[in-house]
Amino acid sequence: MPVRAAVIVSLLLAAVIAGCTVRVESTLVPIETHRARLAAVRTHAVPQTVEYVDRHGQPIAELAKEGYRIWVPLSSIPESVRAAVIATEDRTFYHNGGIDKRAVARAALQNASAGGTVSGASTITMQLVRLVAFEPAERFDRSIERKAREAYLAAELDDRYSKAELLEAYLNIAYFGRRAYGIEAAAQRFFGRHAIDLDLAQSTFLVGLLQAPTAYDPDTFLPAARARQRTVLDSLVAVGSIDASSARRAFEAPLTFVTPPPPPPRLVGHFVDYVTSEVARVLGPARARQGGFRVVTTIDTAFTDDVRGIAERHVESLRAAHDVGDAAVVAIEPATGEIRAMVGGIRYDDPNGGQVNMAAEPRQPGSSFKPLTYAAALASGWSPSSVVWDVPSRFGTGPDAYRPANYDGQYRGPVRLRRALANSLNAAAINLLAEVGVEPVHALGLALGLPLDPDPWHYGLSLTLGGGEVPLVKLASALGTFGHGGRHVPATAIERIEDLATGRELWRNPAEGSQIVSADTAWLIDDMLSDAAARTPAFPRPSPLELSFPAAVKTGTTNDFRDNLTVGWTSYVVVGVWTGNKDSHPMRNVLGITGAAPIWRDVMEHLHADPALLASFGDGAPPAEGFARPAGIVSAPVCDLSTLTADGRCARRDEVFGAGRKAGDEGVAFAWFDPGGGSCFDGTAGAGAARVGLFLPPSGPVQEAALEWARQHGTLIAPPGCRANGLQLARTMGFR
């Protein structure tokens, strides 16, 4: 471009910037895009540093998207920094309208021969526009159009915000080097102190870096950085902010630089990813994106490392023979909901899906969901002595009929609730759900925090067998509620969140819970699932489900061996384990008892072998202590159905009942009746034979299947009218 033409263009640019035309906005495209970004000036919507520490204060991660930035208010920035920036960068800051018209005109004339480019003459407000409104690549564009756009937006910004707001934003957004954005991060990364504590020497040194952070990097170009500091001090003298002797003393003052610490490694990678999503939930997405806070998490790093080691050893022992590729483990304190350990996979850095967190990934829980069905049954009037029929029922007709089957293909007929749950009998669980109803079980799952589909019939009767996909961490939190007396405190990864600049607490885990199931119901579930004798038919002793202290536990295995689960708890900790393959290909012939249970056992025993670690959970309940029995629980003898003879005799054993329940046999008739006549007599010895008979379930597929079972196995069915006092009659009839 000829010099004469360049001069004319530059003068026109100066005129545009000076406001001599009203048609600027229509020519500055895409002005709206840039204008929208300027909201960051007031909302602080620029990425700031987020620090993560474990429950003991150990750093576990540091997230810095562009670099390190901690936004501080203008009142936390010393006057020496503010004065130095204005004296060096924009002496007319408090008087100009975002544009120094004289400087712009002068720069335009000086750059007239630069081939259509313009540089210089940037006010603090124009620099702020460049940093906030433009993408990084666009910031280095020196075209007349970009410069005009910058100036126009600066004038608009000056109208919209106060000078204090503009100066605060600039000093928090500008880059100082060492990946430090903003004066607070710079003060910490260069001098190891907060911005408010900077002295004149440190303030002027840092302000000097703004012009060219790389060229003035003190690690490489200290003489140039010191020369730039002298320039800043001279500018302060020139505007009358300090005298020459103060400038000399500041320049001669020794500067001691700190070595910025490297970012801490992600010691618990899956957990950090999980807690990041939790931060967005509790603070809101916008505030979470803003950053500028420290997250004090609930994780115990050392415990988590030990848990990972346990999981890795077991996976390696199963890999070759059973094609088990990975494991996930969570440990939660039910009283507070705090996640104390989380392993989302044994190798976070594995390029083949290693960062997928299987502790948070929805998977089918299999039979580990069954305790919810049994809890709903207990809440609706059933007891551990109630009889449920483990028979091959058929729901529906035709090829789409649902025929639940037990994993071993065998059926036990009439069984007590205790043994049905302890032995994880599928047909019994489905038949129980058919009587209790899908809706109350589904409602209980939602109340316990499981992310189920809102329509219970999305799952139907398969719900009790784990038809709904849920994350392991949510499942463990839900089941741990039983150990906590039926009070559910949602799982959390965060103890508190603190503002990095002020230390002010932004959020704290309230550890608030709700009584979801009664204490009696919760204890009965605990009692049934900690009964090693009751589960021996399905889980021969000794098994990985037995510990050196009392604990309730439930396993689960999904179809085709895609997922193994074991979730077990005491009153003060719940541990959940998943084993499988992240790509969902099936394992080979491995159940929850052989895949996940050994990991669960070793994690629980490891926890209880460390007195200090154990004491950190709640009140540090000793290993020998079981579940606290509610005052209203009573015991009474019932018929042991496994001893029931063809002539209606059986041995008795003790069973437990909730408060307010009639302590006696349920589903069983101790009475005088005629099996063939369908009549129940009044109890006189001559009226008929004294027998033990079973009641049939209500009408429907379960009743049909139960009746067929009774016919095939000679089981005595009592007439519906036999509702006498079972305990008294049992004693009168002399049953063992």
User: What digits encode the pLDDT tens for the residues 537-548?
Assistant: 888 888 999 999
| Residue (of 448, 388, 401, 396) closest to 641 by Cα position | 388
Structural domain that includes position 663: 634-732
Largest CA distance in the chain: 131
Q: What is the pLDDT of residue 48?
A: 80
Q: What is the pLDDT of residue 202?
A: 97
pLDDT of 229 over the 70 cut: yes
Q: Which of 318-322, 358-362, 651-655, 731-735 has the lowest mean pLDDT?
A: 731-735
Strands 552-557 and 563-569, sheet pairing = antiparallel
pLDDT of 1 over the 50 cut: no
Q: Which of 139-148, 196-205, 700-709 has the lowest mean pLDDT?
A: 139-148
Q: Which of 145-159, 287-301, 422-436 has the lowest mean pLDDT?
A: 145-159
Going by pLDDT thresholds of 50, 70 and 90, the confidence category of residue 578 is: very high
Exposed, middle or buried, 30 (CB in 10 Å: 0-12/13-18/19+)?
A: exposed
Going by pLDDT thresholds of 50, 70 and 90, the confidence category of residue 675 is: low
Q: Residue 596: what are its φ and ψ, rounded to 5°?
A: -90, -35
Q: What is the pLDDT of residue 179?
A: 86
Q: 232: domain CATH number? A: 1.10.3810.10
Going by pLDDT thresholds of 50, 70 and 90, the confidence category of residue 359 is: very high
pLDDT, averaged across the chain: 84
Q: Which helix (H) or strand (E) holds 499?
A: strand 494-499
Strands 326-333 and 338-343, sheet pairing = antiparallel
Q: Is 162 domain-assigned?
A: yes
Going by pLDDT thresholds of 50, 70 and 90, the confidence category of residue 24 is: very low
Q: Which helix (H) or strand (E) holds 439?
A: helix 438-447
Number of Cβ atoms within 10 Å of the Cβ of 398: 5
Q: Residues 28-38: what's their mean pLDDT?
A: 54
Q: Residues 311-325: what's their mean pLDDT?
A: 93
How many Å apart are CA 81 and CA 168, to the nearest integer? 11
Going by pLDDT thresholds of 50, 70 and 90, the confidence category of residue 641 is: confident
Do 93 and 163 meet the contact criterion of CB atoms below 8 Å apart?
yes
Q: Which helix (H) or strand (E) holds 91?
A: none
The fraction of the chain above a pLDDT of 90, given in percent, is 53
Most confident of 129-133, 472-476, 529-533, 702-706: 472-476
Residue in this structure with the two tokens 């690549």, named with its chain if needed? 137
Higher pLDDT, 542 or 255: 255
**Contacts of 447 by beta carbon, 8 Å cutoff, 6+ apart:** 488, 514, 516
Q: What is the pLDDT of residue 621?
A: 54
Q: What is the pLDDT of residues 606-615, one digit of tens each?
A: 999 998 999 8
Q: What is the pLDDT of residue 455?
A: 94
Domain end, chosen from 252, 268, 296, is at 252
CA distances in angstroms from 84 to 25, 87, 150, 200, 235, listed in the order given: 34, 5, 24, 9, 8
> Which amino acid appears at position 500 of this protein?
L
Q: Which parts of 117-199 are beta strand (E)?
A: 175-177, 180-181
Higher pLDDT, 265 or 683: 265
Q: What is the pLDDT of residues 405-455, one digit of tens each?
A: 888 888 999 999 999 999 999 999 999 999 999 999 999 999 999 999 999
Q: What is the pLDDT of residue 688?
A: 53
Do 620 and 482 meet the contact criterion of CB atoms below 8 Å apart?
no
Q: Which of 39-53, 367-381, 478-492, 546-560 has the lowest mean pLDDT?
A: 39-53
Alpha helices in 484-568 (DSSP H): 519-529
Do 154 and 46 meet the contact criterion of CB atoms below 8 Å apart?
no
pLDDT of 99 over the 80 cut: yes
Report the C-alpha dihedral over residues 433, 447, 477, 363, rounded to 10 degrees. 60
Q: What's the pTM?
A: 0.78
Q: Is 347 domain-assigned?
A: no
Do 159 and 35 meet the contact criterion of CB atoms below 8 Å apart?
no
pLDDT of 13 over the 60 cut: no
Q: What is the pLDDT of residue 57?
A: 93
Burial 2-28 (b: 16+ CB within 10 A, else e): eeeebbebbeebbebbbeeeeebeeeb
Helices 144-160 and 3-17 cross at an angle (nearest 10°) of 10
Number of Cβ atoms within 10 Å of the Cβ of 73: 11
What six digits make up the tokens of 530?
Answer: 């900690």
What six digits make up the tokens of 459?
Answer: 């799952």
Higher pLDDT, 589 or 597: 597
Q: Which parts of 132-246 are beta strand (E)?
A: 175-177, 180-181
Q: Is 610 domain-assigned?
A: no
Q: Which of 98-107, 265-274, 342-351, 565-574 has the lowest mean pLDDT?
A: 98-107
DSSP structural state of residue 55: T
Q: Is 132 domain-assigned?
A: yes
Domain end, chosen from 252, 281, 311, is at 252
Q: What is the pLDDT of residue 732?
A: 38
Q: What is the pLDDT of residue 149?
A: 80
Q: What is the pLDDT of residue 183?
A: 96
Report the C-alpha dihedral over residues 19, 24, 28, 30, rounded to 10 degrees. 100
pLDDT of 734 over the 60 cut: no
| Residue (of 388, 376, 369) closest to 431 by Cα position | 388
CA atoms within 13 A on the CB side of 459: 28
Q: Is 708 domain-assigned?
A: yes
DSSP structural state of residue 492: B
Q: Which helix (H) or strand (E) holds 690?
A: strand 690-694
| Residue (of 561, 557, 596, 595) closest to 576 by Cα position | 596
How many Å apart are CA 604 and CA 330, to the nearest integer? 11
> Which amino acid appears at position 675 of this protein?
P
> Which amino acid appears at position 195 of this protein?
A
Going by pLDDT thresholds of 50, 70 and 90, the confidence category of residue 8 is: very low
Residue in this structure with the two tokens 């001893």, named with its chain if needed? 643
Sign of CA dihedral 684, 689, 694, 700: negative
**Contacts of 313 by beta carbon, 8 Å cutoff, 6+ apart:** none
Do 80 and 204 meet the contact criterion of CB atoms below 8 Å apart?
yes
C-alpha of 111 from chain center: 56
CA distances in angstroms from 91 to 41, 94, 98, listed in the order given: 21, 8, 12
String of DSSP letters for 599-655: HHHHHHHHHHH-HHHHHTSTT---TT--PPPPTT-EEEEEE-GGG--TTS---EEEE
Q: How many domains does the chain have?
A: 2
Higher pLDDT, 115 or 258: 258
Q: Which of 39-48, 202-211, 303-312 has the lowest mean pLDDT?
A: 39-48
Number of Cβ atoms within 10 Å of the Cβ of 717: 18
Q: Which helix (H) or strand (E) holds 569?
A: strand 563-569
**Contacts of 350 by beta carbon, 8 Å cutoff, 6+ apart:** none
Q: Is 363 domain-assigned?
A: no
Residues linked to residue 656 through DSSP beta bridges, in sequence order: 635
Q: What is the pLDDT of residue 338?
A: 96
Q: Which of 148-152, 161-165, 346-350 has the lowest mean pLDDT?
A: 148-152
Q: Which of 92-101, 421-430, 577-586 has the lowest mean pLDDT?
A: 92-101
Q: Residues 701-716: what's their mean pLDDT?
A: 87
Domain end, chosen from 252, 283, 307, is at 252
Q: Is 261 domain-assigned?
A: no
Higher pLDDT, 100 or 395: 395
Q: What is the pLDDT of residue 18?
A: 46
How many Å apart are CA 392 and CA 395, to the nearest integer? 10
Q: Is 204 domain-assigned?
A: yes
Going by pLDDT thresholds of 50, 70 and 90, the confidence category of residue 10 is: very low
pLDDT of 690 over the 90 cut: no
Do 496 and 452 meet the contact criterion of CB atoms below 8 Å apart?
no
Do 579 and 599 meet the contact criterion of CB atoms below 8 Å apart?
yes
How many Å apart are CA 159 and CA 173, to the nearest integer? 20
Do 716 and 690 meet the contact criterion of CB atoms below 8 Å apart?
no
Higher pLDDT, 579 or 36: 579
Q: What is the pLDDT of residues 481-529, one digit of tens each?
A: 999 999 999 999 999 999 987 889 999 998 889 999 999 999 999 999 9
Q: What is the pLDDT of residue 648?
A: 66
Number of Cβ atoms within 10 Å of the Cβ of 301: 19
The fraction of the chain above a pLDDT of 70, given in percent, is 81
How many Å apart are CA 295 and CA 324, to the nearest integer? 35
Residue in this structure with the two tokens 């081939």, named with its chain if needed? 115
DSSP structural state of residue 560: G
